[in-house]
């Protein structure tokens, strides 16, 4: 079946960014299109995975590299919102092989037979991981201070 629903409008629908008339149109299409319901399910699952992933560990080197790429991002031209894993590796300026470590827990989903990730989710994921690492480091320092201060 030939779907009128583009990836972009589906993504905007998931994010609640569509105007009401378009939201209704997407909902009506989804009601009659199992293919798009599967696409939608994959996207929502990716968002759920993202929240899970924020609690896990990832190497500091990868985060550092990703953060460096992101802070340079303003100088870069248009990068599409949906990236294949290869594009994501190139976007983060890490080796494609290093992408394996990240991809295992990234909010990836399958579209047209290839694994992909949303760029905004990639950024969100990096930011969450950074916060988690900072918190872990701070609470480690705090407990050391308490331990040595009490002696």
- For Zn ion, the binding residues (CB under 5 A) are 3, 5, 33, 35-36
Contacts for 99 with CB less than 8 Å, ≥ 6 apart: 85, 86, 88, 89, 92
Work out how close the CB of 29 gets to Zn ion at its nearest, in angstroms, rounded to a whole number.
Answer: 6
Q: Which is nearer to Zn ion, 33 or 127 (CB)?
A: 33
Q: Which is nearer to Zn ion, 25 or 54 (CB)?
A: 25
DSSP strand E in the chain: where? 82-84, 108-111, 114-118
Residue that the structure tokens 């701070």 belong to: 138
Q: Which is nearer to Zn ion, 6 or 74 (CB)?
A: 6
**Number of helices and strands (H, E) in the chain?**
7, 3
Work out how close the CB of 4 gets to Zn ion at its nearest, in angstroms, rounded to a whole number.
Answer: 7
Work out how close the CB of 133 gets to Zn ion at its nearest, in angstroms, rounded to a whole number.
Answer: 40
Work out how close the CB of 40 gets to Zn ion at its nearest, in angstroms, rounded to a whole number.
Answer: 9
What φ, ψ does residue 75 adopt, rounded to 5°? -80, -10
Q: Which is nearer to Zn ion, 33 or 49 (CB)?
A: 33
């Amino acid at each position: 079946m030939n779907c009128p629903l583009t990836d972009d409008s589906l993504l905007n629908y998931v994010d609640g960014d569509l105007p009401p008339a378009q939201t209704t149109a997407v909902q009506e299409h989804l009601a009659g299109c199992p293919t798009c319901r599967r696409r939608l399910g994959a996207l929502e699952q990716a968002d759920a995975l993202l929240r899970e992933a924020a609690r896990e560990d990832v190497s500091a080197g990868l985060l550092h590299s990703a953060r460096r790429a992101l802070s340079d991002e303003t100088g870069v031209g248009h990068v599409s919102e949906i990236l294949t894993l290869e594009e994501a590796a190139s976007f983060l300026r890490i080796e494609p092989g290093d992408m394996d470590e990240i991809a295992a827990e990234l909010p990836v989903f399958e579209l047209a037979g290839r694994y992909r990730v949303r760029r905004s989710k990639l950024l969100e994921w990096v930011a969450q991981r950074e916060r988690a690492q900072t918190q872990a480091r701070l609470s480690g320092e705090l407990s050391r201070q308490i331990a040595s201060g009490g002696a």
